[in-house]
Structure 1
Amino acid sequence: MFSAVHGPSARKRGALRLATVTAVSGLVAVGAIAGAGAAAADDKPAATSSGAHATLEDAGVKVGATVDVNDHGVETSPTGGLFELKVDNAGVIQTYCIDLNHHTVPNSTYKEVTWAESSLAGKAEAAGKINWILQNSYPAVTPGDLGADLTPETAAAATQAAIWTLSDDVKAMPQDKAAAKLTKKLLKEARAAKEPKASLAFDKDAVSGTAGGEVGPLTVHTNATSSKVSLALAPGAPAGVQLTDKSGKVITSASDGTQVYFKVPKGTPDDSVKVTATTQTKVPVGRAFISDGKFRSQTFILASTSDVPVTAVATAKWGTAPAVTVKNDCAKGGLDIAVSNKGSKAFDVVVLGKNLGNVPAGTSGSFFLPLAEDSTYAFDLAGQHFSGTLDCKTAGTGTPSPAPSTPSSKPSPASAGGSSTGTNGGTNLAETGSSSSTPLIAGAAVALVLVGGGAVFFLRKKKTAGQ
């Protein structure tokens, strides 16, 4: 039951109630925002099956400076430069952005991929020139050798501007005069360089065959030259199953080009086994890195590297189950699905509710599944699980990106007040593209403004009542 109160006392209580409600609302908003940020940060799916795996712990640029960008009529001034990715259980690698208008999401996981599986698909000449720039600019070349007035920050901004011009089809130029001169020089002199080799990968996700013979082959692809690639069957492999080379010799290691077979004793029940390849190597400069979590984060290209652990995993099957390999096809906008059916019956290829066709017994077939850009997929086929995101296009290609994805020229919350520094002592600057934290900080700011506004309202009412 509520009682009616009138006069000055009522005004004071009304003001107090408003201030209290405003403050509580603001604190609830801040709490909700912090919770959303934590949820995004905790999204760390399992590592992918080949190459280097890394995490973007801090979504801010580590070494860079301001770049003016005209993206199809949309003018922005983001910070351009080097990001750092932390390789799983190892050191740090440095990258540039090749995906200007998409978000950077703190704690996103990344995987090494081919150009065809990234936003560089269908851009062979531009991708090759970007690779040339990476070999002939910062950090491969010192700022002093690139120009007398350049610093690590301005050299990084100049390099990023040249890369954006090619990767995102924009007009990008650093504000610093010496950096602008370098950008123009890089674009003028760039020549198409070849795509670098994978750090470590198998040529297929899976192979199939029959017990009593050799199942395979899987071909190892790696740039490692100073160390061998170790091979190991997964724990619990059926008795008698061994890894061999093409001559039938049992092997426990491999090198680039090695063909790996699975020797399966006759009479072994239908089953499957995984093989893991591992080595330590420098991931080649110019390799693309795409995010592989729920939240899409900017696509990067490797600028500098160090010795890091890399892995590749594949499956061998014997019996009736076909072997399936799935890859992103960014040129066509979907998934390429290859099926090898060495069983005795035709196999229907049904993916995400769509029947793509069938593969007769003893044959192989290839299928294409179109997907919308940025769509996340997860499905099982022939006992194998596949998941990922079709991350192929830059938002700046063709049409301007919507406002929430426009590059931010303001410091990100991850970089403000931090103690992190770049490789060459540069401070942790603002991110390129929008950070997923940007709307969170904006919401927090609104909440704090509301809190302050409620307090001012309360104090003014109190003064009036006192008079």
Structure 2
Amino acid sequence: MTLVRGRTTAHRLAVTAVAAGLCTAGMTALASPAQAGGRPDGTVEQYGGAQATLVGLTTHGPAVIRTDGERQEVSAGLFEMTVAGGGSLQTYGLDALNPVQAQTRYAEGSWKSSTLHGNRNAGKIRWILEHSYPKVNDLQKLADAAGTRHLTPQSAAAGTQVAIWRFAEAGSQRPDDHTHDKARGHTGDSAHGTARHGRPEITAVDPAAEKLADRLVKNARSMPEPGASLALGPAEVSGRNGDRVGPVTVRTNATTVSVAPDPHAVSRGVRIVDKEGKETDTAHNGSRLYFDVPPGSDPGSASLTAEAATKIPAGRVFTQAGGRGRSQTQILAGSSRSTVSATAGVNWAPKGPVPAATFEEDCAKGGVGITVANHGDEPFTLRAGGQRAEIPQDDTRTVMVPVEEDQPYRIPVAGPNGYEKTFSGVLDCATSAATDSVGPHGAVAGGERPATVGGGEAVMGSSKDLAETGSGGTHLMALIAVGFVVAGGVTMILVRRRA
């Protein structure tokens, strides 16, 4: 009996383990699309500074958007973001007619790679951020300046957002703006009055908020774009083994930056050194870093990571860094002490071509510029997004790859000796009104609703907004996962009945 019981127990344990495994496999299959952000396929998302996730709208009041005779009431105010690695941000939106999606990933970026590209009012938006709520949290002082008796946090946030939206829409570029305005003598600088050729007219519902918005628009003066919280440039370098390869220049507003080589660099004996050749693990604004590659090393690659804790400057733009649908570009209004980071890579070889590739979204040219350096002694042929270019030795060339507005992109790059990368992102260079992507009833093109940013309702994108990273296979993965879970559950029930 003891032997039989032992065999029965062992059998039950084995079958239960299989069932548990099936259930686990099902849960893993369900989770796998979300885990694709780890980029095991080698896809590069070249971000420096802060990366954050949008939580939602926190302090807001009602506003009205009128476009081509249609009227839409929305919520206008401050958003909250949580920073990867620690910290929180307060932001305002830059595109009144674009939806906002909770849990969307954002990355710190520059004005020229966002909807502020070419916007003659961008500097005035920064002035508003420096002279209004929440940077100025004395609400009575704001109310007195606006000529109103009282402001609440909600009305102050609403008035500030309305003023920002007005400048963002009035100064945004349209394909027909130049000829249209020149023919009629318009300068396009006004952020007041009725909507002109499709631009929205935006007002706050609360009279105090509306007075604040008017005062901010009237008094705003242009300010320069703030610098990045942390950036490394270039993001990839190349050279000979036995040399100090670089430099990689540090740009930051942090007092001190920690620097560390990746495990691959450590295993290959690659050190991070300063311009004097001394090994270092810290850097400052303006520091120049180099990869010291040992002589006699086989061809290879490595990277370094820089990290700091700092307050991100007001006026930095945050653009969508992933997600299923479109989500409104944000501009920073306030920051806690937050974690920021950036990465730079190196490639080396003793002879032949040695490539280094970086990319930058170029709103002026409507695409992504792939910049490739060749610090080798032979030329090579670069393939980028279906284009080919010859890169001479000791030379640098840029290949422009056209990308559609508001569309996720994946650009494969290939060079000599198995060099491969895939650059990805979402090009967001114009507001919805500027691209005429608003339907006849105020609905955003693609079936999404306009910027009803209050109430925490997430507006999901249509299937055509899915990135080309396998997101379109989510339904298949879900069906497989459900099959695993059901099979596991049935197996466990049978085990219990036999027991």
Q: State the TM-score bracket (shorter-chain normalisation).
A: 0.7 to 0.9
Equivalent pair of 1:43/1:293 in contact (CA under 8 Å): no
1:79 aligned to 2:75? yes
Structure 2 counterpart of 1:349:
382
Distance 1:354 1:366, change over 3 A: closer
1:335 aligned to 2:372? no
Cα distance in 2 for partners of 1:119, 1:40 equals 32
Cα distance in 1 for partners of 2:106, 2:201 equals 27
1:375 aligned to 2:407? yes
Distance 1:379 1:408, change over 3 A: closer
Structure 1 counterpart of 2:307:
278
Equivalent pair of 2:60/2:454 in contact (CA under 8 Å): no
Cα distance in 2 for partners of 1:341, 1:271 equals 15
Structure 2 residue identity aligned to 1:216: G
Structure 1 residue identity aligned to 2:235: D
Equivalent pair of 2:99/2:453 in contact (CA under 8 Å): no
Root-mean-square deviation over aligned CA pairs: 2.4
Equivalent pair of 1:158/1:174 in contact (CA under 8 Å): yes
Cα distance in 2 for partners of 1:437, 1:333 equals 22
Equivalent pair of 1:41/1:107 in contact (CA under 8 Å): no
Equivalent pair of 1:205/1:315 in contact (CA under 8 Å): yes
Q: Percent of aligned positions with the same letter in both sequences?
A: 38
Cα distance in 1 for partners of 2:328, 2:300 equals 39
Cα distance in 2 for partners of 1:89, 1:206 equals 23
Which of 329, 332, 339 pairs up with 1:299?
A: 329
Which of 291, 295, 304 pairs up with 1:262?
A: 291
Structure 1 residue identity aligned to 2:375: K
Distance 1:202 1:294, change over 3 A: same
Structure 1 residue identity aligned to 2:75: T
Equivalent pair of 2:60/2:77 in contact (CA under 8 Å): yes
Structure 1 residue identity aligned to 2:335: T
Cα distance in 2 for partners of 1:304, 1:40 equals 34
Structure 2 counterpart of 1:128:
123
Structure 1 counterpart of 2:107:
111
Cα distance in 2 for partners of 1:387, 1:400 equals 23
Any idea what the Cα deviations from partners look like across 1:175-226, whole Å, max 9, x if unmatched?
A: 111111111110011011111110111021201110111100000010112x
Map 1:1-80 to 2 at 5 A. Answer: 42=34, 45-46=37-38, 49-58=47-56, 61-80=57-76
Distance 1:109 1:43, change over 3 A: farther
Structure 1 residue identity aligned to 2:281: T
Q: CA deviation at 1:48?
A: 5.5
Give the secondary-structure state (helix, strand or coil) at the position aligned to 2:286.
Answer: coil
Cα distance in 2 for partners of 1:326, 1:341 equals 15
Cα distance in 2 for partners of 1:211, 1:50 equals 27
Cα distance in 2 for partners of 1:297, 1:42 equals 18
Structure 1 counterpart of 2:152:
151
Q: CA deviation at 1:321?
A: 3.2
Which of 426, 430, 439 pairs up with 1:389?
A: 426
Structure 2 residue identity aligned to 1:175: V
Structure 1 counterpart of 2:248:
218
Structure 2 residue identity aligned to 1:235: P
Which of 396, 403, 407 pairs up with 2:450?
A: 407
Structure 2 residue identity aligned to 1:236: H
Give the secondary-structure state (helix, strand or coil) at the position aligned to 2:290.
Answer: strand
Cα distance in 1 for partners of 2:276, 2:206 equals 61
Q: CA deviation at 1:40?
A: 13
Equivalent pair of 1:219/1:257 in contact (CA under 8 Å): yes
Structure 2 residue identity aligned to 1:233: P
Instruction: Give unpaired runs (5+ residues) of structure 1.
Output: 1-37, 416-433, 440-467
Equivalent pair of 1:44/1:107 in contact (CA under 8 Å): no
Structure 2 counterpart of 1:426:
none
Q: How many residues align?
A: 377
Give the secondary-structure state (helix, strand or coil) at the position aligned to 2:264.
Answer: coil
Cα distance in 1 for partners of 2:32, 2:78 equals 23
Equivalent pair of 2:448/2:462 in contact (CA under 8 Å): no
Cα distance in 1 for partners of 2:461, 2:386 equals 36
Equivalent pair of 2:311/2:335 in contact (CA under 8 Å): yes
Equivalent pair of 1:41/1:106 in contact (CA under 8 Å): no
Structure 2 residue identity aligned to 1:96: Y
Distance 1:315 1:174, change over 3 A: same
Cα distance in 1 for partners of 2:451, 2:113 equals 27
Cα distance in 1 for partners of 2:215, 2:370 equals 42
Instruction: Give unpaired runs (5+ residues) of structure 2.
Output: 1-29, 39-44, 144-148, 171-199, 414-418, 464-499
Give the secondary-structure state (helix, strand or coil) at the position aligned to 2:158.
Answer: helix
Distance 1:172 1:39, change over 3 A: farther
Structure 2 counterpart of 1:166:
167
Q: CA deviation at 1:436?
A: 2.1
Which of 214, 220, 236 pairs up with 2:264?
A: 236
Equivalent pair of 1:72/1:399 in contact (CA under 8 Å): no
Cα distance in 1 for partners of 2:246, 2:452 equals 52
Higher mean Cα deviation, 149-158 or 391-400? Answer: 391-400
Structure 2 counterpart of 1:140:
135
Cα distance in 1 for partners of 2:281, 2:356 equals 23
Q: Which TM-score applies when normalising by structure 2?
A: 0.71
Equivalent pair of 2:384/2:399 in contact (CA under 8 Å): no
Distance 1:233 1:410, change over 3 A: closer
Give the secondary-structure state (helix, strand or coil) at the position aligned to 2:263.
Answer: coil
Structure 2 counterpart of 1:196:
226
Q: CA deviation at 1:45?
A: 2.8
Structure 1 counterpart of 2:460:
436
